[in-house]
Amino acid sequence: MARLHALAGAATTWATKASAIVVTKTQDLFKQSGVLLNRAAKLVQNINDGVVKQAATTTRGMRCTLRRAINILRRIKWRDIVKHIQHLIKTKPGVVAIISTSLLIAIFPRLFAEPMLAAMGFSGIGPVASSAAAGFQSFYGATALFAMFQSAAMGGYGIAAVYGAIALVAVAVAVAAVWCATCYSGKME
C-alpha cells in the first residue's frame, strides 16, 4: 500500500510538473502568436499606407493630365473646326462616309454584331444547321472562340468581348481614314 501511495504521489507530482510545462509552453505560444499578429498587423498597415500614397500620387497624376487636356481643348479654335469639316465633306466624301460609319459602328456595335453573327451561323438557340458555325464546330469542336461567339448570339458573356472587338476595329478604321485623309493628297472617294 505504501508503494501505491508513493506511485500516486509521484504521478501527481509528474502531472503537476507536466501541466506547469504545458501552461508555460501555451503562454509562450500565445506570446509568440501575439508577436506574429503584431508583425502581421504592422505589415498590413504598411501595405495600406503604401496603397494610400500610391492612390494619392495617381490622383495627382490624373489631375495633371486632366489639366493638360483642358488646356489643349481651350486652345482649339472651335469655329474653324466646322469650316474644316465642311471642306472635308466637299473634297473627300468617301473618307467622311468611312469615318462616320466607323464611328456609328463603334458607338452601336450591336448594329454590326448581330447580322455578322447571324451570317456566320450563330443564333439564339444554337448554331444554324449547314452554316459556317456548324461546319467549324464539327471540324474543330466547341473551342473557346466558338463558345464566345455562340454566347454573344445568345446574349451571354460573349457580348462584351464581341462588341468590344467590333468597336475597337471600327475606331481603328476611323483613325486610319483620318490619317489617310491628312497624309495623302490623292483622291480617296
| pLDDT tens readout for residues 27-82 | 565 566 565 556 666 666 666 666 666 666 677 777 777 777 777 777 777 777 77
The C-alpha cell at 31 is 506570446
Residue 27 lies in a domain: yes
**CA separation, residue 158 to residues 140, 150, 179 (Å):** 19, 8, 32
DSSP type of residue 128: P
Residue 130 lies in a domain: yes
Same domain assignment for residues 17 and 82: no
Q: How many C-beta atoms lie closer than 10 Å to residue 129's C-beta?
A: 8
Task: Please give the tally of structural domains in the chain.
Answer: 2
Last residue of a domain, one of 76, 92, 126: 76
Residue 145 lies in a domain: yes
Helix (H, G, I), strand (E, B) or coil at 137: helix
Residue 189 lies in a domain: no
Mean pLDDT of 4-9: 56
Same domain assignment for residues 179 and 86: yes
Last residue of a domain, one of 76, 97, 126: 76
**CA separation, residue 114 to residues 17, 100, 101, 154 (Å):** 81, 20, 16, 10
Confidence of residue 119 (pLDDT cuts 50, 70, 90): very high
The C-alpha cell at 125 is 438557340
Instruction: Return mean pLDDT, the chain.
Output: 76
Q: What is the pLDDT of residue 188?
A: 45
Q: What is the pLDDT of residue 89?
A: 81
Instruction: Identify the weakest region by mean pLDDT among 9-18, 95-104, 111-120, 145-154.
Output: 9-18
Last residue of a domain, one of 28, 50, 76: 76
pLDDT at 189 over 50: no
Same domain assignment for residues 105 and 175: yes
Q: Which domain holds residue 88?
A: 78-183
Same domain assignment for residues 97 and 22: no
Same domain assignment for residues 41 and 82: no
Same domain assignment for residues 162 and 70: no
Using alpha carbons only, give the angle 85, 172, 110 rounded to the nearest 5 degrees.
Answer: 95
Same domain assignment for residues 147 and 61: no
